[in-house]
Amino acid sequence: MKRFLVFILTAISCIMMSQVLLAQDVDKKAVLEQADAAKKVKDDLIKLPTDSLKPWKFTGVIGLNASAAGFVNWAAGGKNNVNGIAFANLRLLYAKNRLAWDTNLDTDFGYSFLDQAEDPWQKTNDKIVFTTKFGYEGPSSGM
């Protein structure tokens, strides 16, 4: 047990020493140049007129997931199957002046084919979630 403890402590010490020895030196000049460039970009972004930006933004993900399982010489309980799920997660956002309207649609639809005589096609997923929010930001109070 004592040898095992010594081995563990030695391994931990070697790992810590390698981290110290392989640490990177920081180039202060390069860091300052990158900070100045970031500040310039930030100042340029602040100068953009907000009226030119589009108030509507549409984002989302649409996809299809599929899987299959095949069993050969399998004990009772396993069945060959093929599964598929189509999904869509969509978002529509309107933001202009003091108004905001956020709409989300989250859907899933899945089917499974089982290698069996009775009812081989079975629905596995069925989801529709629709949410919408509307907001108005009133004038700020000078507290």
Whether residue 8 is predicted with pLDDT greater than 60 in this model: the reply is yes
- Give the tens place of pLDDT for each residue, 118-131: 888 999 999 999 99
- Give the tens place of pLDDT for each residue, 55-66: 899 999 999 999
Q: What is the pLDDT of residue 62?
A: 96
Q: Using alpha carbons, select from 81, 69, 83 the residue that is nearest to residue 111.
A: 83
37: amino acid identity, one letter: A
Q: What is the pLDDT of residue 115?
A: 84
Q: By CB neighbour count within 10 A (0-12 exposed, 13-18 middle, 19+ buried), where does 133 fall?
A: exposed
Query: What's the 3-state SS for 42-80?
Result: HHHHHCCCHHHCCCEEEEEEEEEEEEEECCCCCCCCCCC
Q: By CB neighbour count within 10 A (0-12 exposed, 13-18 middle, 19+ buried), where does 118 fall?
A: exposed
Cβ–Cβ < 8 Å for 80, 71: yes
- The alpha carbons of the chain give a radius of gyration, in whole angstroms, of 29
pLDDT-derived band at 49, boundaries 50, 70, 90: low
Q: What is the pLDDT of residue 91?
A: 95
Q: Which residue has the tokens 């391994």?
A: 11
Q: What is the pLDDT of residue 13?
A: 77
Q: What's the rounded Cα separation, in Å, for the pair 136 and 98?
A: 6
- Give the tens place of pLDDT for each residue, 97-106: 888 999 999 9
Tokens of 37: 């460039």
| Assessment of whether the complete model's pTM goes beyond 0.85 | no
Cβ–Cβ < 8 Å for 123, 110: yes
pLDDT-derived band at 39, boundaries 50, 70, 90: confident
